[in-house]
Amino acid sequence: MAHAKTRAELLSERIADEILAGALPPGLHLDEQVLARRFGVSRTPVRDALRLLSGTGLIDIRPRLGATVRTVTTEELDTLFVAMGEIEASCARLASLCMTRGERASLRAHHEAMAGLAAAHDREAYVEANLEFHGLLYAGAHNRTIEDIARALRRRLMPYRRAQFQAPGRLARSHAEHDLVVRAVLARDAAGANTAMLVHMSVVEDVFVDLAGAARSEAPPEAPRPARNSRSDVRR
């Protein structure tokens, strides 16, 4: 079951989305008071949100200097996605061999439920269900070390993995890619599960790169003004 998000988690997602969209450019100092006014919250959730984002590599936090938006190079992002793809593929492969009957049933049921979310274009619900889907494979690998690495990489790449779902039609395509993984896992096809997950993670990176490129090409030359209607997204 997905937990109810805190104000800090909701706010960290909003800030991450704006960084990835170019509204908060690399090198920008993230002033807590300015961000609090921008999103209509107090400074406490802003401070907590920035701490959460520091683990993703999107921002740097330094003593007495505060938070700054990082410049993430294409090479750095590519190495992270390659690592994530290999670890996710290993989890899928091991899950196909090690999952219990009950775990396989849970994976099948969860995957089938996600079809409705994709059909309804419920992006937020699908994003949360997607986390659980991959989590089922991490746990199903029955290897605590690999599971810990997978979860750590997922935290690092979370903003990028969320952003890919903004692409038109991405929910349906993501579910179709999951279907190939699930079929292989349930058939105990280790090689097939490994390949299907590698392909899936490669598509995730490609979709994000395409979105990021489109955002850069559409960005105005001057710095955008602060958004005014943000309070409904981050509740007090």
Q: What is the pLDDT of residues 118-151, one digit of tens each?
A: 999 999 999 999 999 999 999 999 999 999 999 9
What pLDDT score was predicted for residue 211?
Answer: 81
Q: Please give the mean pLDDT across all residues of the chain.
A: 88
In this structure, what are the phi and psi dihedrals at residue 68, rounded to the nearest 5 degrees?
-135, 140
Q: Write the pLDDT tens digit of every residue in 190-215.
A: 999 999 999 999 999 999 888 877 65
- Counting beta carbons within 10 angstroms of the beta carbon of residue 222, is it exposed (0 to 12), middle (13 to 18) or buried (19 or more)? exposed
Write down the pTM of the prediction: 0.77
- Counting beta carbons within 10 angstroms of the beta carbon of residue 73, is it exposed (0 to 12), middle (13 to 18) or buried (19 or more)? exposed
Percentage of the chain exceeding pLDDT 90: 65
pLDDT at residue 219 above 70?
no
Per the model's pLDDT, the better-predicted residue between 174 and 208 turns out to be 174
pLDDT at residue 38 above 80?
yes
Distance between CA atoms of residues 97 and 184, nearest Å: 10
Of the candidates 192, 95, 195, which has an alpha carbon nearest to the alpha carbon of residue 150? 95
